[in-house]
Chain A
Amino acid sequence: MIVSRLMQLTGKVLSVTGIAGLWIFPANVQAEWKVNLQRPITEIARVQYDLHMMIMAIITVIALIVFAVMFYSIIRFRKSKGAQPAKFTHSTKAEVLWTVIPTLILIGMAVPSTKALLLMEDTTESDMVVKVTGFQWGWHYDYMEENVSFYSMLATPQSQITGSETKGENYLLEVNNHLVLPLGKKVRFLLTAKDVIHAWWVPQLGGKKDAIPGFINEMWVRADETGIFRGQCAELCGKDHGYMPIVVEVVDDAQYQAWLEGRRNQG
């Protein structure tokens, strides 16, 4: 059994890699090559984005300096060019310098980070509460004050996953019931889980938070624009971890009220 399984596996590996160059599939059509964080649409996500860009700028400069010195040394001090080795073994001045300067840079980074953290952890004065429960493998949303609750699970058909059907535009990022949120309202999320640990993450709304069985975690979101925003479970939660997306639809207040009404009538 083991041998046959291995052989099967080898065959599959070879078939996929062997004809790698020849495979044409829809992904190539909409090539995106995205290299940075998704466009933020909440205050938290914006703060994170700005912090991220600031730190990236700092580390890029540091990396460039390190590489410049390194490549200069490699080019300039090679034996083949007749470089004679110097004898020095230490220099207190230099060592103090490259301890103190990084410390100052770190302090410079710590200040805005602390501010951002304080902002993110402030879940007070929220307008509404949504309880999010992760389970294997989907999400359950409960609008606690509105008496509305529903399940939200992957809507991508199995045939697209196995490849017998062309993959749709939002492959793996589509669900049967969207989580609908009103524009401009501070929504407080209470996160928990039924079985194992999950993590609720919509990149454009801000960071992720773990949904842990037996615990309730908090986070908040205030969306600044309407639209549909997609995310995924971010903590390994078993076999179908890759198949529990999150779709958030931000609408204006009137639409939101209408949607709530519709939901109540359904339920």
Chain B
Amino acid sequence: MTSTVADHHHDEVPKGISRWLFTTNHKDIGTLYLWFAFIMFLVGGAMSLIIRTELFQPGLQVVDPHFFNQMTTVHALVMVFGAVMPGFVGFANWMIPMMIGAPDMALPRLNNWSFWLLPPAALLLIISLFVPGGGPAAGWTLYPPLSSQGGMGVDFTIFTVHLLGMSSILGSINIIATILNMRAPGMTLMKMPLFVWTWLITAFLLLAAIPVFAGAVTMLLTDRHFGTAFFDPAGGGDPVLFQHIFWFFGHPEVYILILPAFGIISQVIPTFSRKPLFGYTSMVFASVAIAFLSFIVWAHHMYTVGMPLSGELFFMYATMLIAIPTGVKIFNWLATMWRGSMTFETPMLYAIACVALFTVGGLTGLTMSITPADFQYHDTYYIVAHFHYTIFAGSVLGMLAGVYYWLPKWTGHMYDETLGKWHFWLTVIGFNITFFPQHFLGLAGMPRRIPDYALQFADFNQVSTIGAFIMGFAQLILLVVVVKAIRGGKEASSEVWENPEGLEWTVPSPPPYHTFATPPQVR
């Protein structure tokens, strides 16, 4: 009888706009994060299509060079800070409490706040494009003295970065507190799903990296307006200092973007291989090793600034070391698939594509760690190809695997498998058409961030642009798939897949507004 009463309260979901504005529910906030990330993904994608359209052929056709630079800059900022990071925080909000058997996040009100910092920040960044002088045009790395030259848009960007940084810090503190403090009885650290592990590590990386970035952009701000000369050589400053500080943040940042995807892949592959994850312990340690190494390799982004020889050697060796834990992860996934019993639903397709294409990105990354060779690769399209193979093929495809994997859990309905497969194939084929030729462009000598290029680069650029349009428009299929699944479809069981592992599959689909009223027992 009690349960009747309790259930009566149980399903009361607040309605209307205030549900979303004031929500402290981890699922609502997760949903908000995911939608925000998806919108930003489309916005950033539209910018990349402007870039690719301009690069379709040599000469200037669509935009002027200054606007082109704004597009490359804002595309990167939107994708990194607006799409990928919030997307993963959305996953964390939805899944971590369910995976560790917690009723909610540890600090629900803080959670609400960390989300609602994002929309104003994004708005500020978009507005910056329309203020006099235009938006930031110095690349997402904001290197001074170039970034000191920009107009008001750069200041907007600095505030945006501060807001986004604050949001990520609050989000990650919440995640750390939740994971460490709210685990169900029996859920020891080494029993946590790998997604929870990678997010725990990511959260610590964010804690360490973001304040450094906040400091760097603040110094940029004071240099611009308050007469300091941290980075201004005329005042005795050091422009290279900014690069050191930026990449001290920036390199952990790239692992912040990839580790949660590794976590998702480690959930998806075992499910569809019907076999437990191979080498759980080594996966955890590999993630920790990657996180540690990420703090001592930052200068491999700046081999050409003229470091002392000893510095170049140190950063080369340290960077090469990262290949080892990353390799361990890839081999472990392969070993999970080995002698499994695989089926290929959309999440599995995305997971396999993610592993395969991330391998390409990882291996080209290895070539860049070699300092002498990097003098040729640095700042060319080879780099552009490399980081899209890691961030798009790694992070975004991993995220898409997660979306399809957990969508039935979130909505209670199976998604449209046919549309999902269309989305997959168009995305992956479009992606490769876009970015594989860019390796060749870079090697042949095309620098990055140029709106116009010499004639010998024309052919591959054309191919690349065609691929970009295929890939870009394919993402609208995802929107259709998600909306369809929300509105109806085949009811999903609580397990959804065949014997998946994890506490999230023990609750109904969709899970009740409040998941674990009493803690589950982990045996």
Contact = CB atoms under 8 A, between A and B. Distances in A.
Decide if A and B touch, CB cutoff 8 A: yes
Contacts of A213: 145, 233-234, 239
Interface in B301-354: 304-306, 309, 312-313, 316-317, 320-321, 323-324, 327-328, 330-332, 334-335, 337-344, 352
Contact of A197 (B143, B330, B373): B143
Interface string A66-77: 110110011001
B272 to A, nearest CB: 9
A232 B274 CA distance: 53
B138 A63 contact: no
A239 B66 contact: yes
A23 B53 CA distance: 13
Nearest to B65: A239
B508 interface: no
Interface in A198-216: 199, 201, 203, 206-210, 212-215
Interface stretch (B2-10, B93-101, B451-459): B451-459
B476 to A, nearest CB: 16
Given A118-B309, A241-B449, A103 B324 contact: yes
A109 B370 contact: yes
Contacts of B373: 48, 51-52, 55, 113
B221 interface: no
B341 A13 contact: no
Given A87-B275, A172-B58, A242 B450 contact: yes
| Contact-size category for A | 35 or more
B181 interface: no
B39 interface: no
B59 A163 contact: yes
Scoring B69, B352, B376, B449 by chain A CB atoms within 10 A of each residue's CB, the highest score goes to B376
Nearest to A26: B455
A127 interface: no
Given A73-B337, A89-B277, A234 B380 contact: yes
Interface in B444-466: 444-445, 447-456, 458-460, 462, 465-466
Contacts of A37: 376, 443-445
Interface residue SS majority, chain B = helix
B450 A55 contact: no
Interface stretch (A90-98, A179-187, A250-258): A90-98
A236 B137 CA distance: 9
Interface stretch (A27-35, A139-147, A220-228, A259-267): A27-35
B124 interface: no
Contacts of B49: 13
Contacts of A102: 323-324, 327
B370 A51 contact: yes
Interface in B133-162: 137-139, 143, 145-146, 149
B189 interface: no
Interface string B48-85: 01100100111111111110010000000000000000
B475 interface: no
A106 interface: yes
Contacts of B450: 232, 241-242
A209 B372 contact: no
Contacts of B239: 197, 212-215
A59 interface: yes
A84 B341 contact: yes
A213 B149 CA distance: 14
B188 interface: no
A23 B342 contact: no
A208 B309 CA distance: 16
A120 B146 CA distance: 28
A55 B370 contact: yes
Contacts of B414: none
B334 A238 contact: no
A85 B330 contact: no
Contacts of A117: 309, 312-313, 316, 371-372
Interface stretch (B30-38, B102-110, B279-287, B482-490): B279-287
A109 B374 CA distance: 14
A15 to B, nearest CB: 8
Contact of A240 (B65, B344, B456): B65
| Contact-size category for B | 35 or more
A41 interface: no
Contacts of A243: 65, 452
A100 B50 CA distance: 46
B53 to A, nearest CB: 5
B366 interface: yes
B61 A209 contact: no
Contacts of B455: 26-27, 30, 167, 169, 171
A51 B454 CA distance: 27
Contacts of A98: 327-328, 331
B367 A161 contact: no
Given A36-B444, A38-B444, A236 B449 contact: yes
Contact of B280 (A23, A69, A90, A106): A90
Contacts of A66: 330, 334, 356, 359
Contact of A17 (B279, B281, B323, B469): B469
A249 interface: no
Given A77-B337, A90-B281, A207-B378, A212 B360 contact: no
Contacts of A138: none
A17 B52 CA distance: 10
Contacts of B371: 113, 117
Given A27-B58, A37-B443, A78-B343, A207 B372 contact: yes
A33 B363 contact: no
Interface in B355-385: 355-356, 359-360, 363-364, 366-367, 370-376, 378-380
B240 interface: yes
B502 interface: no
Given A16-B53, A27-B58, A63-B363, A35 B443 contact: yes
Given A90-B278, A242-B65, A113 B372 contact: yes
A79 B342 contact: yes
A17 B309 contact: no
B380 to A, nearest CB: 7
Contacts of B366: 55, 59
A18 B227 CA distance: 50
Interface of A: 2, 9, 12-13, 16-17, 20, 23, 25-28, 30-38, 47-48, 51-52, 55-56, 59, 62-63, 66-67, 69-70, 73-74, 77-80, 83-91, 94-95, 98-99, 102-103, 106, 109-110, 113-114, 116-118, 120-121, 160-163, 167, 169-173, 195-197, 199, 201, 203, 206-210, 212-215, 217-218, 230-243
7 contacts: A9-B63, A30-B455, A74-B342, A79-B342, A106-B324, A121-B309, A196-B146
Given A234-B304, A234-B378, 5 more contacts: A83-B340, A113-B371, A197-B143, A214-B233, A236-B139
9 closest residue pairs by CB, A with B: A207-B375, A214-B233, A27-B458, A242-B450, A217-B306, A116-B372, A59-B363, A34-B444, A86-B339
